[in-house]
Structure 1
Amino acid sequence: MQTLTGLGVSAGVGQAEALVVSPAPGLPETDPKGEVKDDLATVQAALNKVADRLDYRAMHADAAAVAVLTATAMMARDPGLGFSVENHLKSGSGPAHALWDAFDEFCEQLTAAGGYLAERVTDLKDVRSRTLAVLAGLPEPGVPTIDRPTILVAEDLAPADTATLDPEMVKGLVTAAGGPTSHTAILASQIGIPAIVRCPQARSITSGTKLAVDGVTGTVLVEPEEEAVAVLIARAEKRKAVLDAVPEGDTHTKDGLRVLTLANIGAPADAIAAKKKGAEGVGLFRTEFLFLERQDAPTKTEQVGVYSQVLDTFDEDAKVVFRTLDAGADKPLAFADLGPEENPALGRRGLRLSQVRTDLLDTQLAALAEAAQKTGKMPYVMAPMVATTLEAKWFSDRAREAGLGVVGVMVEVPAAALRSSQVLETVDFASIGTNDLTQYAMAADRLQGELSDLLTPWQPAVMQLVKSTCDGAGGRLIGVCGEAAGDPLLALVLVGVGIRSLSMAAGKIQAVKAALALHTQAQCEEIAVAALAQPTPEEAKKAALALADPGMEVLVS
């Protein structure tokens, strides 16, 4: 027996033989060029055919998958994509190469954006592969016909394939790439298929190999022994018992302390899925998805429609937080390019871009205000990359002048955490982006895998910055919207230092609610003190688990 490890993203245990999904074909060997207008028409027709097929799948898919498939179809119909294809055709490329290069440009933008948006690259590449197949007159790539219980193994899986999987036949998913907020991970959780991503050793698995998987711990057993499988099953049953014991409704600690459990989203479709998973609202709506992959900025009317959809998804008093445009530098926009920078992560991104392109920010704030009037619900609005008191005041004044009543900032820069009592003077709330805060505190690029040991939010220095933010908050609601919020054990530490709002991938909400329900506020505070006293992330996690309720063992990966 061999044990592989990845990142568990959909709970459950599955056992079956592997079925390896073949990669999609690449560029054709020959790519004859014709007239630009004719080649453009050919590519556009292929894109429309792919979009129509995705829409057809949506019509026959489970309700949970409809929004994701529809959103993927919209990618194929994106006018900006056609514009880019035309430019490459004019530069001398054949239709297949023009299509490939146009998608590459958009993939690079999303990869540079990182996090949630980077995980949309899989969706884009799937649309590209399907379109290339149409151009070549080949069958659509994807998951082959499944006629027996199987665990699918792939480099990555597209949402168009995942959405139509039958959990009676597909006992698990294992991918070498992917991420916790990819649409594949979200759909697998909704459908009820155990799933593991970021398991590079999966590339060595061949079809027919016997596998057992645990979608919580990220464990993949190759040619598993019966005793080992029994351990996985027993652990899964204990975990289910803990989750089933969580009271329905709002989230509280064991002694009644109220903690908001919210979802991070990137599109209106995600809001619908998040609510079904138990999200009380939205702690982070990444509005930049409206701006990327475009040649011009979205209009106010477009933005009002999207913001209204999200607000209408949740109850009137729900916390729904919109982060204003977080772009620039490593997330370039064709219509707001401030030029190259030597160190983009420390450049004019986030609020710094908005202070140069005030027109973009003002349109966004006006759209949010109109969406509030249209829906009768008040959005929370916050600015990214705020470092100083003056920046916070500048944004707060502008947002309030636009008619928005609940204004906040993101704490992603150590300076803001250390001086929170001054930085937060003119705002109503703050949300800590632990991904960027960790990157800046540890001087480690969050996209560089070799530095992953430095990039864990369990770093005591990062937890100390979170505590510093809460200590200076002056009674304001402080939340966390980075990946740290979705770790059930770390959530106890966060609540222990003063966090009262946790926003995460929707699939992690139930486990976090269960963890909080097992502990009192005093216990969370004790756990936090112990974790912060440790010199390393490993020891901090060990100290926290030692003080936690025994039931936490099955919730921690």
Structure 2
Amino acid sequence: MQLSGVGVSPGRVAGPRVVVAADLQEPASTPAPDDLSAEAGKIGPAAESVAAALSDRARSVSGDARSVLETTAAMASDPALVASASDLVRTRSLPAPRAVWEAAGEFMTALRAAGGYLAERAADVADVRDRIVAALLGAAPPGVPDLTSPSVLAARDLAPADTAGLDPDLVLALVTEEGGPTSHTAILARALGIPAVVACAGVLDLPGPGLVVDGSAGTVSPSGGEVSAPARAARASWDGVGRLADGHRVKLLANVGSPADARAAVAAGAEGIGLFRTEFCYLSANAEPGEAEQRAAYAEVLAPFAGKPVVVRTLDAGSDKPLAFLPMGAEPNPALGVRGLRVAFDRPELLDRQLSAIVAAASDAGVELSVMAPMVATASEAAWFAARARAAGIPRVGVMIEIPAAALCAESILAEVDFVSLGTNDLAQYVFAADRQLGAVASLNDPHQPALLRLVGMVAAAGAEAGKPVGVCGEAAADPALAPVLTGLGVTSLSMNAVALAGVGAALRQVDLAGCRSQIATAARLSRF
């Protein structure tokens, strides 16, 4: 019996199955505490102990794993959650574990209603909730058990904090019933080099003591439990220059969002930065960061790439990634609301201040600067951004192509800017009307989908006609099997997490440009689509 899911991290392995325990059992609402103040007073210390444990784990890792653990630690110590739960103890006479459960539930309901990025955070809140409740009960926290031998982990889903702490020497593969190709589980599995399949319904019901997992094909089968790991995707060697076997150049760049990411990217041989996410300066701030604060933060990220090209993306927030200091009002569908560059249309001064800080930081770091805007839909929007960016002293201006309208009108948009970069994660979500965080529609967000590849080809052709570069900075760029297809379509650069660089670089060295082009037809005929 073979099940199909969505392969999100390549490699084929077999091993004994270890099932990750389900979420913590819902705590009882009785008996009422004798001393309500004392009961409420337990919540803060429990939350702080959870936050401290997560922070300790964060310090032992780097890159994406560290960022995820730090974010989860911040959630655990969120004073709003502690205050809400404490208030439930005092007003409804609830035991502390039950109060935390209900307070977290209110936050999760609000996040799911918001959709998009915030809906994804609901799973993180559930993980924090369970850890605090376990601390209050004096129980072991739920999650991945301690492994003593190489095993395949199977779960309904995995919390980001659990995935971030996995040991690749003991975890042969990951399989989850839920999740999608751009979930934290998928991204971290790729970063750790662990084969993984998500959205694999029924995997917890497969018979037998073991599993065979093919993260490339997206299949899972039962086995006798024997370990077979030689086919795990090898950590390829790469000399740091992106090129095909015939010498055709394809720049291999890094996606970064923190100083740790930048250091890891340099160590991995990235030729530059293809996507610098600047949101880290804003999303946890109660007031807009000043230009000097932004300048220092950006310069710290850019410094390891002195003398190299970098592409900085302006603030990608609003609606589904709200800013505490910038109330946007309720929206019925945040994924289609005011986000990305749209935030700046009514507040151009916000963009202008960021552009000024970026220019100064690039000068401090000594990098070759390019800046691009997210969520651009039309040529007139591209022109509006380009004018402000050039007025700020940006030498090279581009936009992201992540809305189908922008892909269809790429020729007009390229007339206004110097380059474009395809954000395949959001582009797939909008092309297929499929929430990229929803496991039930995860197969539609597979970057191998022919409809998505056709749009990539259209944009690349427009770039070639205009003589301007076209990059890809979505998760598609990190797939060694897809990199030759994207190159054959005419993409000139690929930007990815640092750990994927060597594998993609090695894969491109195995094929020439003619071979890349020949793979396009094969990709479009994939039987599963």
Give the TM-score taking structure 2 as reference length.
0.81
- Match 2:409 to one of 419, 434, 439: 419
User: Could you tell me how far apart the structure 1 residues matched to 2:431 and 2:55 are?
Assistant: 44
Match of 1:20 in 2: 19
Match of 1:200 in 2: 201
Match of 2:74 in 1: 75
Whether the 8 Å CA contact 1:36–1:86 is kept in 2: the answer is no
Match of 1:128 in 2: 129
Instruction: Give the superposition deviation at 1:217.
Output: 3.3
Cα distance per residue 1:225-245 (max 9 Å; x no partner)? 98xx88x85xx28x64xx75x
Query: Which secondary structure state, in structure 1, belongs to the residue aligned with residue 305 of structure 2?
Result: coil
Match of 1:43 in 2: 43
Match of 2:505 in 1: 513
Tell me if 1:437 matches 2:434.
no
CA 1:271–1:41: 2 relative to 1, 3 Å: farther
Whether the 8 Å CA contact 2:16–2:224 is kept in 1: the answer is no
Match of 2:214 in 1: 214
User: Could you tell me how far apart the structure 1 residues matched to 2:434 and 2:8 are?
Assistant: 25
Q: Which amino acid aligns with 1:252?
A: R
Whether the 8 Å CA contact 1:52–1:73 is kept in 2: the answer is no
Tell me if 1:496 matches 2:488.
yes
User: Could you tell me how far apart the structure 2 residues matched to 1:423 and 1:74 are?
Assistant: 41
CA 1:155–1:462: 2 relative to 1, 3 Å: closer
Tell me if 1:112 matches 2:139.
no
User: Could you tell me how far apart the structure 2 residues matched to 1:225 and 1:44 are?
Assistant: 44
Match of 2:474 in 1: 482
CA 1:66–1:388: 2 relative to 1, 3 Å: closer
User: Could you tell me how far apart the structure 1 residues matched to 2:121 and 2:86 are?
Assistant: 25
Match of 1:405 in 2: 395
Query: Which secondary structure state, in structure 2, belongs to the residue aligned with residue 217 of structure 1?
Result: coil
Q: Which amino acid aligns with 1:493?
A: V
CA 1:156–1:273: 2 relative to 1, 3 Å: farther
Tell me if 1:348 matches 2:338.
yes
Matches within 5 A, 1:262-301: 262-292=253-283, 296-301=287-292
User: Could you tell me how far apart the structure 2 residues matched to 1:282 and 1:259 are?
Assistant: 14
User: Could you tell me how far apart the structure 2 residues matched to 1:145 and 1:446 are?
Assistant: 31
Whether the 8 Å CA contact 1:416–1:423 is kept in 2: the answer is yes
Query: Which secondary structure state, in structure 2, belongs to the residue aligned with residue 472 of structure 1?
Result: helix
CA 1:45–1:358: 2 relative to 1, 3 Å: farther
CA 1:371–1:108: 2 relative to 1, 3 Å: farther
Whether the 8 Å CA contact 1:8–1:217 is kept in 2: the answer is yes
Whether the 8 Å CA contact 2:55–2:73 is kept in 1: the answer is no
Matches within 5 A, 1:39-438: 42-58=42-58, 61=60, 67-68=66-67, 71-72=70-71, 74-76=73-75, 81-83=78-80, 85-86=82-83, 95-97=99-101, 99-101=103-105, 103-104=107-108, 107-108=111-112, 112-114=115-117, 122-162=123-163, 164-180=165-181, 184-185=185-186, 188=189, 193-205=194-206, 209-224=209-224, 233=230, 236=231, 240=234, 244=236, 247-292=238-283, 296-312=287-303, 314-438=304-428
Q: Which amino acid aligns with 2:459?
A: T
Cα distance per residue 1:64-123 (max 9 Å; x no partner)? 787347524642466xx31355367568576414641465268548x8334xx8766554
Whether the 8 Å CA contact 2:178–2:440 is kept in 1: the answer is no
Whether the 8 Å CA contact 1:5–1:199 is kept in 2: the answer is yes
Instruction: Give the superposition deviation at 1:525.
Output: 3.6
Query: Which secondary structure state, in structure 1, belongs to the residue aligned with residue 394 of structure 2?
Result: coil
User: Could you tell me how far apart the structure 2 residues matched to 1:468 and 1:225 are?
Assistant: 47
Q: Which moved more, 1:99-108 or 1:195-204?
A: 99-108
User: Could you tell me how far apart the structure 2 residues matched to 1:283 and 1:370 are?
Assistant: 19
Q: Which amino acid aligns with 1:475?
A: G
**Structure 2: any 5+ residue segments left out of the alignment?**
none
User: Could you tell me how far apart the structure 2 residues matched to 1:426 and 1:191 are?
Assistant: 39
CA 1:121–1:471: 2 relative to 1, 3 Å: same
Match of 1:551 in 2: none
User: Could you tell me how far apart the structure 2 residues matched to 1:372 and 1:106 are?
Assistant: 38
CA 1:356–1:151: 2 relative to 1, 3 Å: same
User: Could you tell me how far apart the structure 1 residues matched to 2:73 and 2:508 are?
Assistant: 39
Q: Which amino acid aligns with 2:115?
A: A
Query: Which secondary structure state, in structure 1, belongs to the residue aligned with residue 242 of structure 2?
Result: coil
Query: Which secondary structure state, in structure 2, belongs to the residue aligned with residue 52 of structure 1?
Result: helix
Cα distance per residue 1:228-265 (max 9 Å; x no partner)? x88x85xx28x64xx75x64221101111111223334
Q: Which amino acid aligns with 1:486?
A: A
Instruction: Give the superposition deviation at 1:500.
Output: 0.4
Whether the 8 Å CA contact 1:264–1:505 is kept in 2: the answer is yes
User: Could you tell me how far apart the structure 2 residues matched to 1:524 and 1:514 are?
Assistant: 14
Q: Which amino acid aligns with 1:143?
A: V
User: Could you tell me how far apart the structure 2 residues matched to 1:379 and 1:43 are?
Assistant: 47
Query: Which secondary structure state, in structure 1, belongs to the residue aligned with residue 240 of structure 2?
Result: coil
Whether the 8 Å CA contact 2:76–2:128 is kept in 1: the answer is no
**What percent identity do the matched residue pairs reach?**
44
User: Could you tell me how far apart the structure 1 residues matched to 2:159 and 2:302 are?
Assistant: 28
Instruction: Give the superposition deviation at 1:469.
Output: 2.5
Give the TM-score taking structure 1 as reference length.
0.78
Cα distance per residue 1:349-378 (max 9 Å; x no partner)? 221221123343233323323322332224
User: Could you tell me how far apart the structure 2 residues matched to 1:179 and 1:309 are?
Assistant: 32
Query: Which secondary structure state, in structure 2, belongs to the residue aligned with residue 405 of structure 1?
Result: coil
Q: Which amino acid aligns with 2:139?
A: L
Instruction: Give the superposition deviation at 1:293.
Output: 5.9
